[in-house]
Structure 1
Amino acid sequence: MTGATRRPLLSLVLVAGVLCLLPSSGFVGSPAAQLRADSRVVARVGAEYTERQSPRDADIPFDAAAATGATVDVSFKKRPFGILRYTPGNGDKGAMVQEVIGKSRYPGDPQGQGFAAGVKGGWVVKTINGQDVQTEDFNTVMDLLDDEVADPRFSKSVALALEKQGGRKAQPAEAPMAITYATIPGYEWKGEVLGADWEPAHR
């Protein structure tokens, strides 16, 4: 075999070797690349769900039945209300506001309703459309509110969570919705007040 013949063959071998060394996941559309992309999506949604539902160090345990202090009436014209997070009281009874979106982006912004109405962390949901829910099961209160901003159980990524709990505990209350909040005398809320520059963590 001549030197001229060996050179093309050597080049061909080198190219083949380089291609073999390249990871298959590097090619667009390969199963490995798609799996990694899907994993990132699942991880992001899962992390958001977990973060939204998880308690915070600043959350102070409370008894919803103890919310016998001052009350505030608020009317929400439509969902979502702009309340990001509630927590259950002792025994998973009742619901306390923990985080409210800290701005209204434009007049009539539904996600700015809580902010515009002055809803504050530490307020316990007392009634919904006249129905006393102060010591109802937490999931019942969440289902009545049916506020997708606050309750990610109805997201496609966590649909199984709703199935696991046996379906809805209550049908969503009709909007416009009249909600009465009550305070707990002597209770010191230490949650986070979201400012006007707040943005969702996943954005």
Structure 2
Amino acid sequence: MARPVLVPALAALAAVYSFASFAFVGTPSTPRDLSRVPARVSAEYLERLGPKDSDVPFDGTSATGPGAAVEFKKRPFGILRYQPGNGMKGAMAMEIIPKSRYPGDPQGQAFASGVQSGWVVASINGQNVLSEDFGKIMDLLDDEVADPRFSKSTALALEKQGGRMAEPAAAPLQVTFASIPGYVYKGAELKEDGQDGFAR
């Protein structure tokens, strides 16, 4: 006697399942145009290179204290981030890789030369850049590890602005750094992680 009730119930469940599969599975009516999907910068990339709450505003022209004259033989230099000064003028070296892993390690150049976090880029190949646009300084240095403007997500915007503000300076680069009297660096000190990289 129970069989006639069970068969209609199973048939009803099968109909619901069949309808659900048609309702939720299928090909979109129009193909997705991937050319219009913007590239995204990873969260890790922005975390490493973006502005930090600990950044202290500064004026590049106030960098009148002692620093160092450095020769960078190749790129990148081992400076993971630069901070723009007030009005986007000047550039300050922020997070520096704290070791040279092997002789000639390009990413150990800043550390081996004594460059310190909080020093301002004063000149590049003899050209004073204390009051130059941050973008121009980044173009001259062409230190791609530290320059977020050349990520995939901003390449189009940079092209619309007319491209680079300056051609990269020829290597080896003679870069002079200067300190700001009374400035205290409050940023993170990098520590080596388990993947031969560095993190805060």
The correspondence for 1:120, drawn from 108, 116, 123, is 116
For residue 111 of structure 1, the aligned residue among 91, 107, 112 is 107
Show the counterpart of 1:140.
136
- Partner amino acid, structure 2, of 1:96: M
Pairing partner for 1:65 from 32, 57, 61: 61
- Give the residue type in structure 1 aligned to 2:179: T
Deviation at 1:49, TM superposition (A): 5.1
| Alignment match of 2:151 (pick from 111, 132, 155) | 155
Q: Secondary structure at the match of 1:70?
A: strand
Unmatched runs of 5 consecutive residues or more in structure 1: 36-40
Secondary structure of 1:60's partner? coil
Q: What TM-score, normalized to structure 1?
A: 0.75
1:179 counterpart = 2:175: yes
Partner of 2:89: 93
**Number of positions where the alignment pairs a residue of Structure 1 with one of Structure 2:** 187
Aligned-partner SS, 2:65:
coil
Identical aligned pairs, as a percentage?
59
Would the aligned equivalents of 2:68 and 2:114 in 1 still touch at CA under 8 Å?
A: no
Higher normalized helix content (fraction of residues): 1
Query: What amino acid sits opposite 1:152 in the alignment?
Result: P
Instruction: Return the offset for 1:69.
Output: 0.7
CA distance in 1, matches of 2:47, 2:160: 19
TM-aligned CA deviation for residue 92 of structure 1: 1.4
Is the 1:69–1:185 Cα contact (8 Å) retained in structure 2?
yes
TM-score, scaled relative to structure 2: 0.76
RMSD between aligned residues = 3.4
One-letter identity of the residue aligned with 1:170 = A
* Mean Cα deviation higher: 95-104 or 55-64: 95-104
State whether residues 84 and 101 of structure 1, in contact with CA within 8 Å, keep that contact through their aligned partners in structure 2.
Answer: yes
**Aligned residue for 1:38?**
none
The answer to whether the 8 A contact 2:98-2:190 is kept is yes
Query: What is the DSSP-based 3-state SS (H/G/I as helix, E as strand, rest coil) of the residue aligned with 1:189?
Result: coil
